[in-house]
Amino acid sequence: MVDLLIGGSPCQGFSFAGKQLNFFDPRSKLFYDYVKALEVLKPKYFLLENVKMKKEYEDIISQNLGVKPIEINSALVSAQNRVRLYWTNIPGIQKPKDKGILLKDIIVDGEVDRDKSYCIDSNYYKGGNIKQYFEKHRRQIVFTKKFSEDFKFRMLYPIECERLQNLSDDYTAIGVIDGKKVKISNRQRYIMLGNAWTADVITHIFSFIPDEHLNNVVSLFDGISCGQVALEKAGKIYKNYYASEVDKYAIAVTRRNYPKTVQLGDVTKIDWNVFLENMKKD
């Protein structure tokens, strides 16, 4: 029996920031792999996260899952504006209360001109510039000199991005590949952090799960396993955590932080009936 199925399928095809390619985009089609898993595994609880998208795409997802999404801005629990949709059958979820966390409180040094960071996405590693920052309102920067002097700025450090996602400092700094610890490059850290869930939003959602003990959790598109961070923070005790992920750096980071995770590989290649049979044997 699967107690919880979670996932945030790659969203570029749905995103307002992307080209609106919708369900024909191969990355968004992975949503249907989530639906397939849901149909076969019949978990007690499920959670699907995605970006804010055109209403017609949102409705297709809602029809497939049988529930409407709750919209939550990560800014309520962190110093980052990140509006996301969450479809779940976990009962009674209310939006989190505003914790009042400000960007100036989480940066290591320098100064900022906003209370909340712009959303960190998987392109953040490309860096920003003043024009883009002030005109397009994206790619958060930190001023290293007072605003009155000439503008000197830097990108957010990876640990600041970790803080924006409610992860511990250096959560993504080291990975494990072939049993050996490896240093993860800043570029990879930014990509994974830009893709990640804001852990405390998920913690908040999981806190509404009535059960304290869960046997089997299945996480699709697991990334750096923010799902496990959230389960821990919500005080949920779980026996097995099965993760489907293909990115070697994300898997490496998960191996470092959660060595007991069972990695299932590419979601498109998983036969969920076989998976269920094997799970019963364990």
Please report, as ranges, the residues that interact with ligand SAM according to CB under 6 A.
8, 10-11, 30, 195-197, 221, 223-224, 226, 244-247, 250, 266-268
Which residue's beta carbon is nearest to the bound ligand SAM?
A: 223
Q: Which is nearer to ligand SAM, 111 or 122 (CB)?
A: 122
Q: Which of 48, 42, 46, 53 is nearest to 15 (CA)?
A: 53
Q: Which is nearer to ligand SAM, 11 or 77 (CB)?
A: 11
How far apart are CB 229 and ligand SAM at their closest, in Å? 8
Q: Residue 79 has what DSSP assignment?
A: S
Task: Name the strands in the sheet holding 70-73, side by side, starting at the edge strand that comes first in the sequence.
Answer: 70-73, 83-88, 45-51, 4-7, 213-220, 237-244, 262-263
Q: Which is nearer to ligand SAM, 93 or 102 (CB)?
A: 93
Q: Which is nearer to ligand SAM, 41 or 112 (CB)?
A: 41
How far apart are CB 201 and ligand SAM at their closest, in Å? 10
How far apart are CB 189 and ligand SAM at their closest, in Å? 12
- Cβ proximity of 80 and 119 under 8 Å: yes
Give the pair of three-digit tokens for residue 132. Answer: 């883009």
How far apart are CB 45 and ligand SAM at their closest, in Å? 16
* Angle between helix 55-65 and helix 31-41 axes, rounded to 10 deg: 20
Q: Which is nearer to ligand SAM, 184 or 267 (CB)?
A: 267
CA–CA dist 179, 176 (Å, integer): 6
How far apart are CB 119 and ligand SAM at their closest, in Å? 13
All residues at 6 or more sequence positions from 180 whose CB lies less than 8 Å from its CB, including other chains: none
